[in-house]
Amino acid sequence: MKREIIRVEPLSTYLERWKASTSAVTRHGDTVYVSGSPPFDPDTGEIVEASIQRQTELVLQQLKLRLETTGSSLDKVLKCNGNKTTIIMTTLEIQRRSTISGTPYTR
């Protein structure tokens, strides 16, 4: 089975501009792998220097875009690794963590 690199615009272009040696999304069989990236300003592609709430909101929006580009969704996420912490992304956990941005989780 071959892996497939999936471009997600404008995020793939932003990653290239920052010379990141990663792709936005990779699919291998029925599994989708999403790379991490900083909170990009959706209009400029610059890295946003803002409150943790705003950065979290942007990263979650960008994660959603990546998943939806592949035909998947946040509801199908099984596991998320980040900042040396492994987070099991159950619906309850997503609801609890999404309040960081002040926006409740909705399906």
Q: What confidence tens digit (pLDDT) does each residue in 47-66 have? A: 999 887 788 888 889 999 99
Tokens representing residue 82 in the block: 């980040």
- The structural domains of the chain, with segments of one domain joined by +, span 3-73
Tokens representing residue 86 in the block: 């492994």
Class of the domain covering 3-73: alpha beta
The secondary structure of residue 29, as a DSSP letter, is T
Asked if residue 25 lies in contact with residue 69, where contact means CB atoms within 8 angstroms, the answer is yes
Q: What confidence tens digit (pLDDT) does each residue in 1-43 have? A: 899 999 999 999 998 998 887 888 999 998 999 988 888 999 9
Single pTM value for the model: 0.72
> Residue 31, SS3?
strand
Q: For residues 71 and 105, what is the distance between their CA atoms, to the nearest angstrom? A: 20
DSSP per residue, 61-85? HHHHHHHHHTT--GGG--EEEETTE
